[in-house]
Amino acid sequence: MADITKDKTENNEIEEIADAVEETVEETAETAEEIAESLDDDDEETVKEQDEEAEKKESKIVDDILEIIESTLLAVFVIVMIFTYLLHPVNVVGGSMNDTLVNGNRIFMTTVYTGPHYGDIIVINNDMAYLLDQNGNVIDKDITGSDLKECIIKRVIAEPGQTLDIDAEKEQVIVDGKVLDEPYIKETVNSTGGAFNFPITVPEGYYFVMGDNRRGSADSRFPEVGLIKKEQIYGKAVLRYSPIKDFKILLF
């Protein structure tokens, strides 16, 4: 009888242990499932965040590329406008403007300017010479076949309405009764050129120009250049950019 009781007690204990083990297994399984679900949620959240971050990076790259393209196009547009309407490259040929400009220099001229005024360096279409008759009236001189019928570059010495005199003996240029102080010239003037009987008054709409190399310049003093009509002026020189070591602003 005692053995049966013992067996029953042992069986009960075994069943209790089995139930406890089963309960523990179930709890463990539930915990594992919760952990797995949590990990899945974390993984999904991480993947989502990574995707969002990747999209943001891609969007930023696209924005940066578009900004670079926009800036580049704007810069190109500005440069085109500048070189179309403001600055034009010009090559200097010859030595009539020595030592301010020498053969081979490259300059920029502008077509947007006021004047021109005394001291300005201008680029000229010398397609026709304009002289004065005995009464001071302008007369045309055809220079077809002349080597000087070309683009030339000179400095404005007298403007419309001013009185100009050249004293070759004293090597002086006189405008409105005042001897010009000309630090830009290579040598003083020693020839009146033969185009005019000085003094003269420059007519309205015309200019008297000379090269800085006064003894080696064919300019308004000579019949094949004469007075410069305003419509003959291409533009005003603003700077020398080549050679780079001789870079210089040419505004007077």
Burial state string for 202-220 with b = 16 or more CB within 10 A and e = fewer than 16: bbeebbbbbbbbbeebbbb
**Predicted confidence (pLDDT) at residue 4 exceeds the cutoff of 50:** no
> How much is the average pLDDT of 33-54?
60
Q: How many CB atoms lie within 10 A of CB 28?
A: 10
Residue 222 CB contacts under 8 Å (≥ 6 apart), including other chains:
148, 193, 194, 195
**Helix H or strand E segment including 153:** strand 151-158
pLDDT, one tens digit per residue, over 119-172 is 999 999 999 999 999 999 999 999 998 989 999 999 999 999 999 999 999 999
> How much is the average pLDDT of 243-247?
94
pLDDT, one tens digit per residue, over 6-42 is 344 444 555 555 565 566 556 655 665 665 555 555 5
pLDDT of residue 67: 86
Return the structure tokens found at 201. 């008054």
Q: Which of 111, 104, 67, 62 lies closest to 87 in space, CA to CA?
A: 111
pTM reported for the whole predicted model: 0.71
pLDDT of residue 8: 44
CA angle 104, 107, 108 (to 5 degrees): 155
Rg (CA), the chain: 46
**Residue 100 vs residues 25, 182, 188: alpha-carbon distances, Å:** 102, 12, 14
**Predicted confidence (pLDDT) at residue 72 exceeds the cutoff of 70:** yes
pLDDT, one tens digit per residue, over 169-182 is 999 999 999 999 99
